[in-house]
């Protein structure tokens, strides 16, 4: 656009030559690179009217009238928001152990956040999408903080009582030996189990409601922030901003896992020293501690968000007559008309289906990945959280930012972007199948019946020991077999070696001539060369507390392949978001994001953790049933079944996403990825005065 094109607009009523004043005015505009890009691309933040800056625009503005400052606060809020959900995922093992619930129960709790988003996504994006979006975001962040604080309340009211019950159930002492008058549980344990059941009946619904509120609060940042950023930058810069926005968001889940790793290393009551470490069955990590930090940061960021203006770029707003007309229309009529435009947009609908199927397997995997690593590769809880955060989530952030830079430099067409998204889905699906073949050796139990392991499994050599009611307390014999209890191994005597390690000897079911790796290590560690020989009589062997499974080097191969798969898959996310905001009208961008959020919640993230949790529960072969409580947590998983159910489900869902991506690719030729370049500002002026024309579904 040249100075001559705009001279009549800026020198009306002047008596002197129009040239110099216009040149002086244009010098002020050209001195700002962002204004140059806006005028060149026609991106006037919702107004296609080409006008010079008004005198008010030249006045000094606060630091909050800055896209960079908004990005700093907005992305910080998104990071902290993303921390909470993955932090809760990282402590699910602790929650399951403390409250004695199954994985599908914790999966239902995780689904509550999505239900909250479903309940608010469409109405919020309709109401706030055309209002003061930063203030809406700030209010929703306060709602989010309320939900997070509420999640801490179970520890405040029941923490001490639950801890006492847990320590009574897991005394960490000697396991049941042969002929030790075993009972299923003593009166104190029975009372504790009843107390825990009554507390769980209150706490689980309470956590569900709190996570529901968290989901409501999360909706504002996710659906209003991206359109606000897109409206305040040029179309050329939009891919880079989208990449930064989505890429930085991934840091939140990564930090959530890291925070979970740190908090689970701290005892549930940080003010006392329990006298044992995290390897002891009595240990309970500070699952509530990270939520306090997250809530505090959210409150601070929400206060800052209130200071941002309705629109950072002070270009003219849409014409008042059109604005008055919109206000005079009935709310429901306009709302349903907006929804109809989204539903009849075939590209948006196929992209929505693709988004659901892309995020569902990824969300399901990350919801239970720490637990999968714990059970499949025998990692401690804190190490599993570190691997998940560093080896998975951060790699996704790098992939997203890299993709944004590539799109900015190469400026691909919509069909090329859609094709790459489909390719990433195919790589992910094939990669999950490949990961099924990477595992550690199966735990070697002495006896596995046709129906799997049960607490009543009895060996002939220990049939006289009366082990039917013995609680699960595994031991590793010197024959390298794992026994469910010292009683099942026929051990008659025991000796404590340290706070969490016991030696069991005179074991009738263990061959004393065998020398397993763990037994030899423990004999060397505790200097038992002479002692162990004196404890062996009549060919009877010894056993040590714990299972025989040791460290597994396959974890490094798994992490390397998993990180490569997630990097490739995440590189398609920027293009996917751009396809969404470019295939709908500029006034409906927030609503389009709301439609996607609604669909992902209803069809993806709500059933996803429940389905994946049920798949993990299906691989359980032995439950830790305390005092005949049928709701005990899983003590042992079948390694093969766990891999096939968990990774196979993720691979199958992503293959369906690949099919949806092919349909998007077939129609993507109608999408203009750079609408600002295709339309000069002067040519767009007539469109600004044609509000009654139905909006295109393929162009901003």
Q: Which residue has the higher pLDDT, 241 or 505?
A: 505
For 68-130, give the secondary structure using H, E and C.
Answer: HHHHHHHHHHHHHHHHHHHHHHHCHHHHHHHHCCCHHHHHHHHHHHHHHHHHHHHHHHHHHCC
Burial of residue 275 (CB within 10 Å: 0-12, 13-18, 19+) is: exposed
Distance of alpha carbon 18 from alpha carbon 26, whole angstroms: 12
Residue recorded with tokens 């990564």: 254
Mean pLDDT of 616-634: 70
Query: pLDDT digits over 507-532, tens only?
Result: 888 888 888 888 888 888 888 766 66
Torsion sign (Cα): 453, 454, 460, 461: positive
Nearest one of 365, 347, 358, 345 to 423, comparing CA atoms? 358
Mean pLDDT of 293-320: 76
CA 418, 675, 223 angle in degrees (round to 5)?
65
Burial of residue 428 (CB within 10 Å: 0-12, 13-18, 19+) is: buried
> Which of 362-376, 392-406, 536-550 bottoms out in mean pLDDT, i.e. has the lowest?
536-550
Domain 67-170+185-440+552-688 is found in CATH 1.20.1250.20: yes
> Which of 213-217, 226-230, 234-238 bottoms out in mean pLDDT, i.e. has the lowest?
234-238
Q: What is the DSSP string of 362-398?
A: HHHHHHHHHHHHHHHH---HHHHHHHHIIIIIHHHHH
Q: Which residue has the higher pLDDT, 621 or 323?
A: 621
Query: pLDDT digits over 4-29, tens only?
Result: 443 443 444 444 444 444 444 444 44
Confidence class for position 431, pLDDT limits 50, 70, 90: very high
Q: Is the pLDDT of residue 318 over 80?
A: no
Break the chain into its structural domains and give their ranges. 3-58, 67-170+185-440+552-688, 460-545
> Which of 294-298, 351-355, 357-361, 439-443 reaches the highest mean pLDDT?
294-298
Residue recorded with tokens 């529960």: 617
Distance of alpha carbon 43 from alpha carbon 58, whole angstroms: 20
CA 261, 266, 267 angle in degrees (round to 5)?
135
Q: Which residue has the higher pLDDT, 679 or 446?
A: 446
Q: Which residue has the higher pLDDT, 235 or 175?
A: 175
Q: Which residue has the higher pLDDT, 444 or 456?
A: 444
Confidence class for position 673, pLDDT limits 50, 70, 90: low
Distance of alpha carbon 274 from alpha carbon 279, whole angstroms: 12
Q: What is the pLDDT of residue 568?
A: 93
Q: Which residue has the higher pLDDT, 75 or 330?
A: 75
Torsion sign (Cα): 227, 230, 235, 241: negative
Query: pLDDT digits over 358-375, tens only?
Result: 988 988 888 888 889 988
CA 193, 194, 199 angle in degrees (round to 5)?
95
**How many percent of the chain have pLDDT more than 90?**
13
Which residues lie closer than 8 Å to 109 by C-beta, 6 or more apart? Answer: 88, 204, 207, 208, 211
Q: What is the pLDDT of residue 188?
A: 64
Residue recorded with tokens 């393929």: 698
Give the residues across from 540 on adjacent strands.
511
Q: What is the pLDDT of residue 131?
A: 67
Q: What is the pLDDT of residue 181?
A: 63
116-148 CB burial, b ≥16 within 10 A, e <16: bbbbbbbebbbebbeeebbbbbbbbbbbbbbbb
Q: Which residue has the higher pLDDT, 339 or 533?
A: 339
Distance of alpha carbon 345 from alpha carbon 226, whole angstroms: 20
CA 395, 400, 404 angle in degrees (round to 5)?
145
- Alpha carbon 264 to chain centroid distance? 18
Q: What is the pLDDT of residue 631?
A: 53
* Secondary structure E strands in 248-351: none
* Secondary structure E strands in 278-317: none
Mean pLDDT of 274-294: 80
Confidence class for position 322, pLDDT limits 50, 70, 90: very low
Q: Is the pLDDT of residue 51 over 50?
A: no
477: helix, strand or coil: strand
Q: What is the pLDDT of residue 174?
A: 62
Q: Is the pLDDT of residue 298 over 90?
A: yes
Q: Is the pLDDT of residue 46 over 60?
A: no
Q: What is the pLDDT of residue 12?
A: 40
């Amino acid at each position: 656009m040249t100075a001559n094109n705009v001279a009549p607009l800026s020198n009306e009523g002047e008596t002197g030559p129009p040239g110099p004043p216009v040149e002086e005015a244009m010098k002020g505009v050209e001195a700002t690179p962002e204004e140059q890009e806006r005028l060149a691309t026609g991106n006037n933040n919702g107004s296609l009217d080409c006008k010079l800056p008004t005198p008010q625009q030249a006045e000094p503005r606060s630091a909050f009238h800055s896209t960079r400052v908004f990005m700093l606060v907005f992305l910080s809020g998104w990071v902290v928001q993303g921390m909470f959900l993955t932090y809760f995922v990282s402590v699910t093992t602790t929650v399951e152990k403390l409250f004695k619930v199954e994985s599908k129960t914790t999966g239902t709790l995780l689904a509550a956040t999505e239900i909250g988003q479903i309940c608010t996504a469409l109405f919020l994006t309709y109401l706030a999408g055309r209002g003061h979006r930063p203030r809406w975001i700030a209010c929703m962040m306060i709602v989010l903080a309320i939900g997070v604080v509420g999640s801490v309340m179970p520890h405040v009211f029941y923490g001490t009582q639950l801890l006492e019950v847990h320590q009574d159930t897991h005394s960490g002492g000697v396991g049941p030996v042969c002929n030790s008058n075993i009972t299923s549980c003593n009166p104190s344990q029975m009372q504790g189990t009843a107390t825990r059941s009554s507390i769980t009946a209150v706490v689980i619904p309470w956590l569900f409601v709190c996570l529901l509120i968290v989901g409501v609060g999360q909706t504002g940042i996710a659906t209003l922030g991206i359109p606000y950023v897109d409206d305040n930058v040029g179309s050329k810069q939009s891919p880079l901003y989208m990449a930064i926005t989505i890429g930085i968001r991934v840091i939140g889940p990564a930090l959530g896992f890291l925070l979970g790793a740190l908090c689970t290393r701290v005892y549930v009551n940080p003010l006392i020293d329990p006298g044992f470490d995290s390897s002891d069955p009595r240990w309970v990590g500070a699952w509530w501690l990270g939520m306090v930090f997250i809530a505090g940061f959210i409150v601070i960021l929400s206060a800052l968000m209130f200071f941002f203006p309705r629109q950072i770029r002070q270009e003219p707003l849409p014409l008042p007559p059109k604005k008055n007309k919109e206000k005079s229309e009935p709310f429901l009529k306009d709302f349903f008309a907006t929804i109809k435009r989204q539903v009849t947009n075939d590209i948006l609908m196929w992209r929505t289906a693709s988004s659901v199927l892309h995020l569902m397997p990824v969300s399901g995997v990350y919801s239970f990945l720490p637990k999968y690593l714990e059970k499949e590769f025998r990692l401690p809880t804190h190490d599993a959280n570190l691997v998940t955060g560093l080896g998975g989530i951060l790699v996704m952030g790098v992939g997203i930012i890299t993709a944004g830079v590539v799109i900015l430099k190469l400026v691909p067409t919509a069909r090329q972007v859609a094709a790459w998204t489909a390719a990433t889905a195919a790589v992910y699906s094939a990669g999950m199948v490949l990961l099924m073949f990477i595992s550690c050796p199966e735990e070697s139990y002495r006896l596995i019946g046709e129906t799997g392991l049960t607490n009543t499994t009895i060996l002939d050599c220990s049939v006289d020991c009366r082990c039917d009611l013995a609680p699960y307390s595994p031991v590793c014999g010197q024959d390298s077999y794992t026994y469910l209890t010292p009683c099942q191994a026929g051990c008659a005597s025991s000796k404590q070696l340290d706070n969490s390690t016991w030696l069991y000897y005179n074991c009738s079911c263990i061959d004393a001539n065998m020398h397993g790796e763990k037994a030899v290590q423990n004999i060397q560690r505790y200097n038992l060369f002479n002692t162990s020989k004196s404890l062996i009589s009549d060919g009877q062997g010894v056993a040590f507390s714990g299972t025989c499974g040791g460290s597994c080097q396959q974890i490094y191969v798994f992490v390397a392949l998993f990180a490569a798969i997630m990097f490739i898959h995440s590189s398609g996310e920027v293009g996917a978001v751009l396809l969404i905001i470019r295939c709908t009208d500029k006034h409906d961008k927030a609503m389009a994001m709301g439609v996607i959020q609604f669909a992902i919640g209803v069809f993806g993230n709500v059933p996803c953790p429940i389905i994946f949790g049920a798949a993990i529960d299906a691989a359980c072969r032995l439950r830790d049933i305390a005092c005949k409580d049928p709701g005990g947590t899983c003590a042992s998983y079948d390694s093969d079944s766990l891999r096939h159910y968990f990774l196979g489900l993720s691979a199958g869902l992503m293959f369906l996403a690949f099919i949806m991506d092919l349909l998007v690719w077939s129609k993507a030729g109608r999408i203009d990825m750079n609408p600002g370049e295709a339309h000069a500002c002067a040519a767009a002026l007539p469109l600004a005065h044609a509000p009654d024309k139905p909006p295109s579904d393929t162009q901003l």
